[in-house]
Amino acid sequence: MEYKLTTPLKKEDISKLNAGDVVYLSGTIFTARDEAHARVLEMAEEKKEVPFDLEGAVIYHCGPLMQNKEEKWEVVAAGPTTSARMSKMTPQLLEKHKVLALIGKGGMANVTEALKNRCVYLAFTGGCAALAAISIEKVIKVHWLDLGMPEAVWELHVDNFGPLVVGIDSHNNDMFLEISKKAKAAYSKIE
């Protein structure tokens, strides 16, 4: 199935998605890599509010390349980064905030249970930084630029951002895990 969704997402948006479905997003998404995840969790521990709204939010594992033209940020490239780096922090993030979708590349280890009934993982093909940039209409705001350009949180307005494949749905289905199991089974028959 193919879906066009608008952020902020609602539970019913993600509950209809199944592993393997294709999604295009419009609305606001937030980039966040390792350092941004760590800061969000640190702020939650200190009972401080983050300066952006994560209710129904989509977090894009991305360290974009930006250019500042005439006091206005423009996206040069915004391809996905490897999501596995954020796997360890994801369960805590989802406990503290109502993030409903994560976007990245390569899948995530040991998060399927944390995503159950709460969030989906959307895979974006690596090497498509220019394609991603085309779907980003504007930079709304940048948060935590002190972390550096790739680690800052970029609040982006997107239109038909994708194609994104549901890699892990909210029903405990992990496409990456299933493909890995099938590959191992096929390989064991060859030996």
> Which residues, in sequence order, are CB contacts of 56 under 8 Å at separation 6+?
7, 8, 9, 10, 98, 100
Residue-level pLDDT at 191: 63
Maximum distance among all Cα pairs of the chain, rounded to whole angstroms: 61
Active site residue 171: no
17-66 pLDDT, tens digit per residue, is 999 999 999 999 999 999 999 999 999 999 999 999 999 999 999 999 99
> Which residues, in sequence order, are CB contacts of 134 under 8 Å at separation 6+?
none
Which residue among 37, 61, 97, 143 is the active-site one?
Answer: 37
106-150 pLDDT, tens digit per residue, is 999 899 999 999 999 999 987 778 888 999 999 999 999 999 999
Nearest-angstrom CA–CA distance, 139 and 170: 29
Q: Which range is least confidently modeled, 91-95, 127-131, 157-161?
A: 127-131
Tell me the CATH architecture of domain 2-190.
Alpha-Beta Barrel (3.20)
Residue-level pLDDT at 155: 98
* Distance from chain centroid for Cα 117: 17
